[in-house]
Amino acid sequence: MENLLDPELVKILACPACDERPAVEYKPEESKLVCTACSREYPVIEGIPRLIVDEAANS
């Protein structure tokens, strides 16, 4: 299954770890969302974004 997300959904997603709730950048080739402020990486698993701070990778 591809991990493609609807672009309209990506527009409203935000990093839950940052107080200012910055946007996330979608990287479909890597199946992840990356916070534009803190650079945390959130996985997209079977098309579902996992915006869980404890599961995020710091880059």
Distance CA 5, CA 26 (A): 8
Does 15 fall in a domain?
A: yes
- pTM, rounded to two decimals: 0.88
Does 54 fall in a domain?
A: yes
Does 38 fall in a domain?
A: yes
Q: Which domain holds residue 54?
A: 7-58
pLDDT band at residue 58 under the 50/70/90 scheme? confident
Mean pLDDT of the chain: 93
Complete DSSP assignment for 4-29 = ---HHHHHH-B-TTSTT--BEEEEGG
Q: Which residue has the tokens 């890597």?
A: 30
Does 1 fall in a domain?
A: no
Q: Which residue has the tokens 């710091």?
A: 58
Does 2 fall in a domain?
A: no
Rg (CA), the chain: 10
pLDDT at 3: 63
Token pair of 59 as six digits: 């880059």
What CATH number did the domain enclosing 48 receive? 2.20.25
Does 14 fall in a domain?
A: yes
Give the mean model confidence (pLDDT) for residues 28-52. 96
